[in-house]
């Protein structure tokens, strides 16, 4: 799923690669290459199907299947690039979206499917609908009946209808009436048969029937799953609590997600078995026994949504005894995914109350949050000494988080989406426009701190909320480590270039801390003026680098200036002359800065 989305209320953000189109395209292309390999006829490969073409992540209000209204230039500059990158990576098929885009349901959008995808991009792979999205054109109010829906979809060059049967029921009639010609049918059939031929299904339709699959829970697969989970955790806060000190003697392990084997698997896991999941409780008990640490466990809440805290007195007794509290909070898997959207994205149930209760004992608290989306927890963030965001880490969640907590590995994940301070500030995303009245720290005061006699203009006429300001809780690209990294000596190969040149950017990165760790070096640019206003920053490249304590290296990134263009008011893709800023750093709100000019 390579839908760009900026709305954490949307349940399917759990499936997305986040709010940036470049990141969606790079990760999506990597998945395609992994699925399809070098040759689709290899029985170990499968045909990929990037989705949802297009705009599904842009649904109004973060409500699944909802209306999408998006300017044409943003559609081409933000929503569509990941699909072009997917096609360039060789995607064997493309799935359309449930939603309408600017009034036309995606499964019947001739301009998107036939004119752009087929003719302009030259895509010859299979295009299939999402589940019953062809007949849903009737419900949208785009066609009066399923026959006309079949007509619209075929005219748009949709090859395959998923689940519903409008094609089966009406395409023969539409051909007899002369509204659909046989060549259109032949083209669709040819594309479907070609994919089957490429997969080797005509040579061996049951390629695996006599072959042995890899053993379930294969040791190598579990190690890979653990490493993926380790590198996906994002450290958001750490006041010298993590990693745990060797002198730790007693740990209070508390929370409904500490031992929730099904929930740690996340959404869309129909074939995942909770019996195979190793929970944090299981893994931490094993580690505690090995290290002769006393582990005191309380689930505290029956499930994440529970509003009653169980055994308060026992919890507080053990919290006071403990050297540190490991608090496992977040969302059950059922709270994110398709058709699981939320208007309130605070920690559910009595979790905030639980945090405040535990904090009253003044024992250091490290919170591990498992969730399919960003949750808002600004109100209780001060009560937590460390916050490690685990998402839903899968089967090997327990071993992964245990190795991170004890410092066997350092967190290296970065946020793929902006974390808002409050749900009411959504949409909030890093590559926003500047506006004519941009906010700053000098122009915003909290509304509850404004004296009643203050004149109207003393609070500053800028683009901000009186109560929640203008900054996110955590910016896109943010993530801490157990070590510290120093960026130095940012160099550009040139400061004045033609639009068809490659700009070489180099920076010195040094591990100035005491832990071996990985850092994601991020490169952003800004076009200061143009034929359209441009975002304050745009991600252009990123690279993950591992360094030992004290080690430094030169990171070199080649930036093709043809990749930093956009669609002008005439809908032409252009790289315009003018002044540009460039940053290299650890996230979207910091970094070393340089300037260059395109001639």
CATH of the domain at 594: 2.60.40.10
Q: Which tokens belong to 388?
A: 């490690």
The verdict on residue 466 lying in a domain is: no
The reply to whether 291 and 179 lie within a common domain is no
Q: Do 194 and 254 belong together in one domain? A: no
Within a domain: 161:
yes
Same domain, 330 and 372: yes
Among 385, 405, 425, the domain-final residue is 405
Domain of 48, CATH number, reads: 3.20.20.300
At 227-275, the pLDDT tens digits run 999 999 999 999 999 999 989 999 999 999 999 999 999 998 888 899 9
Provide, for the chain, the percentages of residues in helix, strand and coil under a 3-state DSSP scheme, each rounded to the nearest 5: 30, 20, 50
pLDDT at 226 over 80: yes
Residue 448: inside a domain, yes or no?
Answer: no
Domain identity same for 259 and 165: no
In a domain, 538, yes or no: yes
Do the beta carbons of residue 432 and residue 524 sit within 8 Å?
no
Do residue 526 and residue 401 come from a single domain? no
Kind plus residue range of the DSSP H or E element containing 369: strand 365-370
| Confidence (pLDDT) at 204 | 86
Whether residues 305 and 374 share a domain: the answer is: yes
The reply to whether 461 falls in a domain is: no
Range of the domain at 498: 485-598
DSSP H helices in 247-300: 280-290
- The Cα–Cα gap between 57 and 77 comes to 15
Residue that finishes a domain, picked among 375, 405, 435: 405
State the Cα–Cα distance between residues 204 and 43, nearest whole angstrom.
Answer: 9
b/e burial code for range 130-153 (CB count within 10 A of at least 16 → b): bebbbbbbbebebbeebbbbbbbb
User: Are residues 264 and 394 located together in one domain of the fold?
Assistant: yes
- Give tens-digit pLDDT for 33-87: 999 999 999 888 999 999 999 999 999 999 999 999 999 999 999 999 999 999 9
Residues 167 and 63 in one domain: yes
Element (H, E) at 105: strand 104-105
In a domain, 232, yes or no: yes
Residue 50 within a domain: yes
Which stretches within 81-177 are classed as H helix?
A: 81-88, 110, 136-140, 146-155, 166-176
Among 3, 109, 130, 259, the active-site one is 130
Same-domain status, 189 and 334:
no
Q: Is residue 165 part of a domain?
A: yes
pLDDT in tens, 535-563: 999 999 999 999 999 999 999 999 999 99
- pLDDT per position as a tens digit, 358-382: 999 999 999 999 999 999 999 999 9
**CATH at residue 358:** 3.40.50.1700
Pair (322, 381) in one structural domain: yes
Cα–Cα distances in Å, from 160 out to 56, 82, 130, 181, 484?
Answer: 19, 22, 10, 16, 52
130 is known as an active-site residue: yes
Let me know whether 33 and 168 are in one domain: yes
pTM for the structure as a whole? 0.96
Q: Are residues 239 and 148 in the same domain?
A: no
């Amino acid at each position: 799923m390579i839908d760009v989305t900026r709305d954490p209320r949307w349940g399917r953000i759990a499936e997305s690669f986040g709010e940036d189109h470049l990141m969606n395209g790079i990760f999506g292309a990597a998945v395609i290459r992994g699925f399809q390999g070098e040759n689709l006829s290899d029985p170990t490969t499968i045909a990929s199907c990037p989705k949802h073409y297009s705009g599904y992540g842009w649904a109004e209000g973060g409500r699944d299947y909802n209306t999408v209204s998006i300017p044409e230039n943003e559609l081409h500059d933000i929503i569509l690039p990941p699909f072009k990158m997917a096609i360039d990576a060789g995607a064997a098929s493309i799935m359309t979206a449930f939603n309408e885009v600017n009034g036309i349901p995606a499964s019947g959008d001739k301009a998107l499917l036939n004119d752009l995808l087929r003719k302009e991009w030259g895509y010859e792979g299979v295009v299939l609908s999402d589940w019953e999205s062809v007949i849903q054109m009737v419900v949208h109010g785009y066609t009066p009946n399923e026959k006309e829906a079949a007509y619209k979809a075929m005219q748009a060059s949709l090859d395959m209808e998923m689940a519903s049967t409008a094609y089966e029921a009406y395409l023969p009639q539409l051909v007899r009436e002369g509204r659909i010609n046989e060549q259109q049918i032949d083209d669709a059939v040819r594309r479907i048969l070609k994919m089957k031929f490429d997969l080797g299904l005509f040579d061996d339709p049951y390629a695996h029937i006599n072959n042995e699959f890899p053993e379930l829970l294969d040791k190598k697969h579990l190690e890979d799953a653990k490493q993926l989970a380790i590198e996906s955790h994002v450290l958001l806060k750490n006041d010298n609590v993590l990693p745990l000190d060797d002198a730790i003697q007693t740990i209070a392990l508390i929370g409904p997600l500490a031992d929730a084997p099904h929930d740690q698997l996340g959404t869309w896991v129909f074939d995942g078995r909770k019996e195979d999941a190793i929970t944090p409780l299981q893994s931490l008990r094993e580690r505690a026994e090995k290290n002769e640490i006393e582990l005191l466990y309380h689930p505290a809440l029956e499930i994440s949504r529970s509003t009653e805290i169980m055994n308060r007195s026992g919890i507080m007794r053990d919290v006071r005894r403990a050297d540190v509290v490991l608090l496992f909070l977040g969302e059950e898997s059922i709270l994110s995914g398709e058709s699981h959207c939320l208007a309130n994205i605070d920690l559910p149930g009595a979790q905030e109350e639980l945090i405040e209760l535990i904090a009253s004992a003044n024992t250091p608290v490290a919170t591990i949050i498992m969730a399919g989306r960003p949750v808002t927890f600004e109100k209780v963030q001060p009560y937590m000494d460390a916050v490690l965001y685990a998402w839903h880490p899968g089967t090997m969640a327990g071993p992964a988080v245990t190795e991170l907590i004890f410092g066997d590995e350092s967190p290296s994940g970065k946020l793929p989406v902006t974390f808002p301070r409050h749900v009411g500030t959504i949409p909030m995303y890093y590559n926003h426009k500047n506006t004519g009245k941009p906010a700053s720290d000098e122009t915003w005061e909290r509304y509850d701190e404004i004296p009643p006699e203050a004149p109207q203009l003393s609070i500053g006429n800028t683009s901000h909320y009186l109560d929640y300001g203008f900054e996110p809780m955590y910016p896109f690209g943010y993530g801490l480590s157990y070590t510290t990294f120093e960026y130095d000596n940012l160099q550009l190969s040139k400061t004045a270039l033609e639009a068809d040149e490659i700009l070489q950017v180099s920076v010195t990165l040094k591990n100035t801390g005491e832990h071996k760790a990985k850092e994601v070096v991020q490169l952003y640019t800004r076009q200061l003026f143009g034929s359209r206003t441009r975002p304050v920053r745009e991600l252009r490249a990123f690279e993950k680098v591992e360094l030992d304590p004290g080690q430094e290296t030169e990171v070199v990134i080649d930036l093709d200036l043809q990749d930093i263009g956009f669609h002008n008011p005439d809908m032409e893709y252009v790289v315009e002359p003018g002044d540009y800023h460039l940053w290299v750093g650890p996230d979207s709100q910091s970094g070393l800065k340089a300037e260059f000019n395109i001639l």
